[in-house]
Amino acid sequence: MRRLRLVLIGVLLLALAGCSSGGVTSGTGKPSASATPRQTTKPVAGVTKVLVFVEENHSLEQMSTEMPYTFGLAQRFGYATNYVAIRHPSLPNYIAIAGGQTYGITDDADPSAHPISGQSVFGQAIAQGKTAALYAEGMPQNCALENGGSDYAARHNPLAYFTDERALCAKHDVPITQLRDAISAGKLPTVGMVIPNLCNDAHDCPLSIADSWFKGWITKIFAGPDWKSGHLAVVLTADEDDNSSGNRVMTVVIHPSQKAHVVDSPLNHYSLTRLYDDVAGAPRLHEAATAPSLSAAFGLPLAKRG
């Protein structure tokens, strides 16, 4: 009897030990599905900031093939397969993105040749009490109106053409050296644009150089508070193609809400203008009023207007 009692006590102790363990296990020794803690997903915040990177003169096919890191992000987050630039050459496309129309510009002349009296998305953001900035790589000083510095091209800087916003340009059109601090401090603008120099935008150098350059910046952005908050959407596009594919360019939309989202519906640079306006809570500029919605196409969760 004594031996039987000892056996029964031992069985009871083993049963109690099993109840107090870290969870029920399957035959493999791993916690069973019923014992796995539930994973809670933090709601994705509404987009209140848009930062656009503009590359140069390459098609969707070229960019997806020769920018492997960037196309990897496109496949991970989202990209458009039917996004078309407005026309050729470069300048009208930059003006279209920033101003909602080309203002009849058909060449790449400097700001002195094309003074624009009108409002840009940057001016709209400031008028709405929001923030705006254009970060230009290689630009020797704020709002440079001529080529110079380190491979800086004035024709790729749309804000420099809006003469009604010269004071705004002098303050908010800045060298790219200020971008790093804005990222780390969580002070990226509501309406932001990043213009690489003539090498890093793939105008004068291979797309592989542009790919590495963008990787450097997006890695910093992923580590920054604006991205972690869910309020920032990053877009990478190109001004135009090289006349090889009907002006279709790769446009990547990067936001925590995007999961391998491929958009085949028609989009264009005015869709990007519309996104800027919607995020800033401003009236849609000119052609942006009827442009296809980029946010709707990608399901971007825009913050509600206050």
CATH fold label, 49-298? Alkaline Phosphatase, subunit A (3.40.720)
pLDDT over threshold 80, residue 2? no
pLDDT over threshold 70, residue 264? yes
pLDDT over threshold 50, residue 37? no
In this prediction, residues 274-279 reach a mean pLDDT of: 98
pLDDT tens-digit series, residues 48-65: 999 999 999 999 999 999
pLDDT over threshold 60, residue 109? yes
Task: Give the range among 44-53, 181-190, 266-275 with minimum mean pLDDT.
Answer: 44-53
Cβ contacts of 57 within 8 Å, gap of 6 or more:
90, 202, 203, 238, 239, 240, 241, 242
36 confidence band (pLDDT: 50, 70, 90) = very low
Mean pLDDT of the chain: 89
Cα separation, 242 vs 248, whole angstroms: 10
Length of the chain: 306
Cβ contacts of 97 within 8 Å, gap of 6 or more:
52, 54, 121, 158, 193, 269, 272, 273
In this prediction, residues 241-264 reach a mean pLDDT of: 97
CB 176 within 8 A of CB 135: yes
Instruction: State the pLDDT at residue 121.
Output: 98
The continuous run of DSSP H or E covering 37 comes out as none
In this prediction, residues 5-23 reach a mean pLDDT of: 40
* Domain spans of the chain, in order of start: 49-298
In this prediction, residues 241-253 reach a mean pLDDT of: 97
Cα separation, 120 vs 106, whole angstroms: 18
pLDDT over threshold 70, residue 152? yes
**288 φ, ψ to 5°?**
-65, -25
44 confidence band (pLDDT: 50, 70, 90) = confident
Task: Give the range among 36-40, 115-119, 226-230, 239-243 with minimum mean pLDDT.
Answer: 36-40
pLDDT tens-digit series, residues 189-230: 999 999 999 999 999 999 999 999 999 999 999 999 999 999
pLDDT over threshold 60, residue 84? yes
304 confidence band (pLDDT: 50, 70, 90) = confident
pTM of the model: 0.86
Query: How far from 166 is each of 120, 153, 194, CA to CA, in Å?
Result: 11, 18, 19
In this prediction, residues 83-89 reach a mean pLDDT of: 98
